[in-house]
Structures are given as structure tokens and as C-alpha cells.
Amino acid sequence: MGFKGGCVVNSIIYSIKNHRSIRNYLEKDIPEEVLQEILEAANAMPTSINGQQISIVVIKDKSKKEKIAEWTGGQPWISQAPVFLVFVADFYKAYIACEKNGSHQIIHESIEGSLVGAVDAGLAMGAAIISAESLGLGIVPIGAVRRNPQEMIDLLGLPQYTYPLVGLVIGYPADASAQKPRFPLETLVHVEEYQKDKIAPAIDEYDTIMSKYYSERGDKDTNWSKQVANAYKQVYFPDVYPTMKKQGFLNDK
């Protein structure tokens, strides 16, 4: 525990602020008791109405990880690391609870249900990230588990009313990646109301910072706004909507 700017900074906060995504891992297994601590931390997170509408699929099998690495657009760190977690929105458990009580579940058909599942999965993954990094492990989240969602659903044997939302690579880092700059806190935190006048000049300043960051990393000439504009001019995972409907997430209520 130390002091910074007159405030106490403990080891957990330091670990969180030191986060960086790792894409190169050692060939070293994670001890089962360490993985168990990470999963228990994820399980301890709050969920809406204590519905616990989330499941985590733990994948260690090399062939499965290689398939996922391919389906996510070619991300070799998925197969390289010893463990890959898939965070699943899970209203199947609630569906069984409703049946047990003679009720008919409809929440999974609504936008509210989809938001609840996504928020709860995010809370659980955040706890897993903090726990893993505090234990000396590296991580990288993988949103592209939604790139080929039907393949993921079939591979994981997911029943109706469940959906794979995001993955998490966990392993021992082979190197320390550079920490990616963030927007200044003033553009994240808005006191009392959203301060939209700050946004455009902040983006201009951040683009300059990120252009230098990418250049030093040896990437192509780009910046934050160019990357976002290129990604968000399209629905980049178009199979999400039809497969969500197939799984029962109609999003029509």
C-alpha cells in the first residue's frame, strides 16, 4: 500500500491501473487452484435480481482453442495460452426456475434481457481480469467470439436461452506489452450532466497521442478516430442478430 497525490493506493488498484492486453504467452499451465480463485471471484460479482444469468465455459483443450482462434479471425494467442474462458448470457437456468414454478419466462425475448445478460457478463469478466492480473497472469478479452457465433454455440453445446458474449484469454505473459493510452479522465467522468462540448477537442488530442503510439509500435498510419470510423461504419459481426433470435433472444420487447 502506498500514497499518490495524498490518496492511499493499494495493490489491487495498482494492478488495475497497470492493465495491458497480452498477446504472447509462455507454454506454462495455470495451477488449478489459481484458476479456481479467478472463477470464484467472477462468481462473487452482483447480478440483476440475483438471477445469476451468466455461465462461464472453461476451455483448455488445444484443438478447441485452435478452432476458436480461427473463428475469431486468426488470433493465435487464444490457442497459445493455457486457458480460454467464454462468458455466456444464460437465461436457461431462469427458464428452468420459471418452469419449476409454473411460470412462462419472457425476459429473454426483450432488449432488457439482452442488456442484463451483457452487463452481468461484463461484471464477471471484470472480476476475472482483476483477479488474474493480481496473480501475475496476463489476459486479453476477445469480443470476436461473436464473429462466428453458431460455431461457438455448437462447440460449447449451448442450450436455448444462452448466448456467447465475450471470451477471455488467460496465461503467463511471455513479454510485457506497452500500456495503451486512454482518454483523459475528464472525458469519461461527467459531473451532474454530460458535457458534450469536451468531446471533439478531446478526440483531436487523443488522435495525436494514439497516432504516435501506433507509429512507435510499428503499426500502419492510423489513430483512434480512424479505427473507430472504419469499424463502426458497418455491423462487423452480422451473424449475431440471427443467431440470437435462434437462441430465443428475440429482442422485440
pLDDT in tens, 157-183: 999 999 999 999 999 999 988 899 999
Query: What is the chain written as a DSSP string?
Result: -EEETTEEE-HHHHHHHT------B-S-PPPHHHHHHHHHHHHTS--GGG---EEEEEE--HHHHHHHHHHTTS-THHHHSSEEEEEEEE-HHHHHHHHHTT----GGGSHHHHHHHHHHHHHHHHHHHHHHHHTT-EEEEEGGGGTSHHHHHHHHT--TTEEEEEEEEEE-BSS-PPPPP---HHHH--SSS--GGGHHHHHHHHHHHHHHHHHHHT--S--HHHHHHHHHTS-S-TTHHHHHHHTT-----
Nearest to 53, CA basis, from 88, 97, 80, 26 = 88
pLDDT in tens, 34-65: 999 999 999 999 999 999 999 999 999 999 99
Q: What is the pLDDT, as a whole number, of residue 16? A: 93
CATH superfamily of 21-177: NADH Oxidase (3.40.109.10)
Are 83 and 45 in contact by the 8 Å Cβ rule? The answer is no
Are 247 and 160 in contact by the 8 Å Cβ rule? The answer is yes
For the chain, what are the domain ranges? 21-177, 178-234
Q: Does residue 2 surpass a pLDDT of 80?
A: no
Q: What is the pLDDT, as a whole number, of residue 144? A: 98
Contacts of 127 (CB under 8 A, 6+ apart): 41, 42, 44, 45
More confident residue, 4 or 223: 223
